[in-house]
Structure 1
Amino acid sequence: MGTDLHDAASRGWLDELRTNLTSEFEAQSTRLTQLTADTGDPAQEHTRAALIAATRQSLEQISGALGRIDAGTYGRCAKCAKQIPGERLQILPHARFCVPCQEKHGSAG
């Protein structure tokens, strides 16, 4: 992927990413519904609570990425506004920060 998210190839990549993220959002939503409805073994409650928290975080990250795509800000660092390298976005599609800002910020994505 090129560095300009506004060229034709990148727009195609963004459309595909939007489709993939939307599918993943739907899958994670279904998972969350199943996890919150499960009244299984009380001994597994801690594990289930951790899975619920991780699923909610995933939904938040996906939703944020979709919102940035729709707003036209996807691929720009939320801190310094520089272009996030395409390689980083391919590995971590919900990335909000470039690597230097991420290291300063200290949290995931």
Structure 2
Amino acid sequence: MTTELQDQAEQHRLTMLRQTLTDQFAVQTARLTELTADTGDPAEAHTRAALLAATRQSLDHLAGALRRLAEGSYGRCERCQVAIPAERLEVLPQARFCVPCQQRTGG
């Protein structure tokens, strides 16, 4: 494969990834809006609070991935700076760390 074709393939992959992240961000934003609506049921308050926290964290991770894409640092481990394998990014597009560094951070 020529360099030009490789560049085009990589550009297409990044475009598709950006769209996936943007779509996920929109879904999580809608979920957050839905979760912040007060149902008036005190029994649901604890569950709703946990869902709100998880949704906000998800939005934070997605926003970070979109920011890294815009900055050109997407796909590099934030700790050791090695390239994060494409397979990992396909499964977890908002990944900030390679697997060894992720294991060291305890998450």
TM norm. shorter chain > 0.5: yes
1:36-59 per-position Cα deviation (integer Å, ceiling 9, x unaligned): 123242101111111101100110
Q: Which residue of 2 aligns with 1:84?
A: 84
Q: Which residue of 1 aligns with 2:96?
A: 96
Q: Which residue of 2 aligns with 1:3?
A: none
Q: Which residue of 1 aligns with 2:19?
A: 19
Letter in 1 for 2:69: I
Secondary structure (helix, strand or coil) at the match of 1:68 reads helix
Q: Cα distance, 1:104 vs. partner? A: 1.1
Letter in 2 for 1:61: H
Would you say how many aligned residue pairs link Structure 1 and Structure 2? 102
CA distance in 1, matches of 2:54, 2:23: 17
Secondary structure (helix, strand or coil) at the match of 2:84 reads coil
CA distance in 2, matches of 1:97, 1:24: 20
* Percentage of pairs with the same residue: 59
Q: Which residue of 2 aligns with 1:50?
A: 50
TM-score, normalised via structure 1 length? 0.88
- Structure 1's unaligned 5+ residue stretches are 1-5
TM-score, normalised via structure 2 length? 0.89
- Structure 2's unaligned 5+ residue stretches are 1-5
Secondary structure (helix, strand or coil) at the match of 1:47 reads helix
Structure ranking higher in helix proportion: 2
